Structure 1
Amino acid sequence: MLTFFNMFLVISALLGVLGMIIFMGSWSAGGGTDKSSSYECGFDKGLIVRSPFSLRFFILTVIFLVFDVEIVLLLPSVFLFLNFFSFMGLVGVIGFLVILYVGTAYEMSQGSLSWVCSAHS
């Protein structure tokens, strides 16, 4: 008699093989280049292959991701601080917030967060 785990493995393998058979059976041989190319809404694939990309948007995205990860790391420490009040926990949270503030002030002074292009850049 098969145990539950062995039965699970057999059924999973059979479903995987069945899915592959259905996928291969529905595969069409033709279709041309339109079916094999990716669909980009609003872009004509026959025009320019590489269009210029603003580096300002890329930098803003990276800054957002860095500060977002820092805030995600900050939230558990705040909840731990609320449950287990300690002076070192308070110092750690305040230090983390100071680092966030200094980083944001530095990015603002460099002009990375401004949407309007200044004359010197």
Structure 2
Amino acid sequence: MNSTVIMMTVTMIITNMMMILNLILSKKTISDREKSSPFECGFDPTSSSRVPFSLKFFLIAVIFLIFDIEIALLLPSMPTMYLSNMNQWMLTSTLFIMMLIIGLYHEWNQGALNWVK
């Protein structure tokens, strides 16, 4: 118990020291307007260097990540089927899959999966 507290304290001290060192060393100098402007072969840019980002792609990426994590949570449930009580396993897996289906229905109902509106 005592060694765990000491180890946690040492870890916190080292982490905080590294964060403070990072703040000290990464101070940016005063940026001027010319350094922060986009560079196009010595000419002034003809258009904006910032391209608008489509939120639909971001939404699809977030939905993909959510369902990817859910599949990663489902994969270990098959080997645990033989190690646990069958009634409890069926109840938990059914509840988990129902939550996934309800989430998919909610996203579909909100129009998050429609590309063309």
* SS class of match (1:51): coil
Alignment of 1:64-83 (within 5 A): 64-83=64-83
* Residues 59 and 112, structure 1, Cα contact 8 Å, conserved in 2: yes
Q: TM-score, normalised by structure 2?
A: 0.56
CA shift at 1:82, angstroms?
Answer: 4.4
1:58 maps to 58
Alignment of 1:79-90 (within 5 A): 79-90=79-90
Identical amino acids, percent of aligned pairs: 40
2:21 maps to none
* Residues 78 and 93, structure 1, Cα contact 8 Å, conserved in 2: no
Q: TM-score, normalised by structure 1?
A: 0.54
Quick check: 1:91 aligned with 2:59?
A: no
Q: Which runs of 4+ in 1 moved over 6 A?
A: none
How many residue pairs get aligned? The number is 73
The residue type equivalent to 1:106 in the other structure is: H
Alignment of 1:1-121 (within 5 A): 48-116=48-116, 118=117
The CA distance in 2 between the partners of 1:70 and 1:98, in whole Å, is 12
CA shift at 1:56, angstroms?
Answer: 1.0
The residue type equivalent to 2:101 in the other structure is: Y
In structure 1, the gaps of 5 or more residues are: 1-44
The CA distance in 1 between the partners of 2:60 and 2:52, in whole Å, is 17
Q: Which has the larger radius of gyration?
A: 1
In structure 2, the gaps of 5 or more residues are: 1-44
